[in-house]
Every structure is written in structure tokens, then in C-alpha cells.
Amino acid sequence: MQMISVKINNPDGKNLIFGQAHFIKTVEDIHEALVSAVPGIKFGLAFCEASGPRLIRTSGTDEAMIKLAVQNAKAVGCGHTFFIFLENAFPINVLNAIKMVPEVVRIFAATANPLEIIVTRTKQGGGVLGVVDGGAPTEVEKESDVHYRKELLRKFGYKL
């Protein structure tokens, strides 16, 4: 068994969702969930099959993001995992819809931070052990940080 860290390529800091599902139908169902949750959404989806021809299945509304999802799916190389890269939506806008897709087993990360996927390789294939999302905390927030956080949420329209 070999353990590696795969650094995710996300040069523009796009929001992404990385998860695990269990069936070829995942591609169509996630696509439908995304376009139903946010009309006009721009996204790229890549899903790695774990049996049969073991293809990377794709869908989306933006070719550049589909290519980015495929590139990262190839690099991670673990069956039944998927990448979604988002353009004009945040993960918070679509996560519940994705979680409700019957084939979705888990969400490992929803982030725009630098991301590393911890993978183990065996003779059978690859498996995801976990993720490293962004950096480690540096300190506890101060009153000015609390004020900034609250203002940011209001700017995005999440709080009144």
C-alpha cells in the first residue's frame, strides 16, 4: 500500500465540491440537481467509474470547468469519486441538492481554498483517506475579525 497527497489544480480559485458516489447514474442526477438549484449555473462535473470500463464520465455547462474537473479526477484516480467546479454559484447554494442525490455517499470538501486529497493506492486501485482544505488556523478571532465576518455575510446576502 502506498499513501500520497494529490494537490488539486485550481488556478483561478474556483469553488469546488469533491465527493463520492456509487453508480453511473450519478452524472445525470448531479447535473439535474445543480441546474435545478441554481438556474443558469456554470459548472463542470467529472465522475470516476469504479467497475466496467472505468471511464471518467462528464457533464456540465462550461467546457473549461469540465476539463478542469477531468484533469483533477485523473490526478486523484479513485473510483466512484467526483469533482464539481462552480462558476456563478457557491457550494452553499447547491450542497443540499447534491446531498439529496440518492447515489451520493459523502462530500469530502466544498471549498475555494488550496486543496490536497490524501489517497492510498493498493493493487486493486485507489481510495480517498481524507482532505487537507486550506491552511491551519493562526489564532482566535478578535472583535475586529468578528465584525469583518458579519459584514462579509451581509455583503453576500446571507444575513440581514
pTM of the model: 0.93
Residue range 143-158, pLDDT digits in tens:
999 999 999 999 988 8
Residue range 79-112, pLDDT digits in tens:
999 999 999 999 999 999 999 999 999 999 999 9
Please choose, from the candidates 82, 118, 85, 116, the residue with its C-alpha nearest in 3D space to the C-alpha of residue 12.
85
What's 143-154 look like in SS3? HHHHHHHHHHHH
- Would you list the domain boundaries of the chain? 2-156
Topology of the domain covering 2-156? hypothetical protein tt1634 (3.40.1520)
How many residues are there in the chain?
A: 160
Q: Which residues contact 33 (CB under 8 A, 6 or more apart)?
A: 94, 97, 98, 100, 101
Please choose, from the candidates 96, 92, 128, 100, the residue with its C-alpha nearest in 3D space to the C-alpha of residue 26.
100
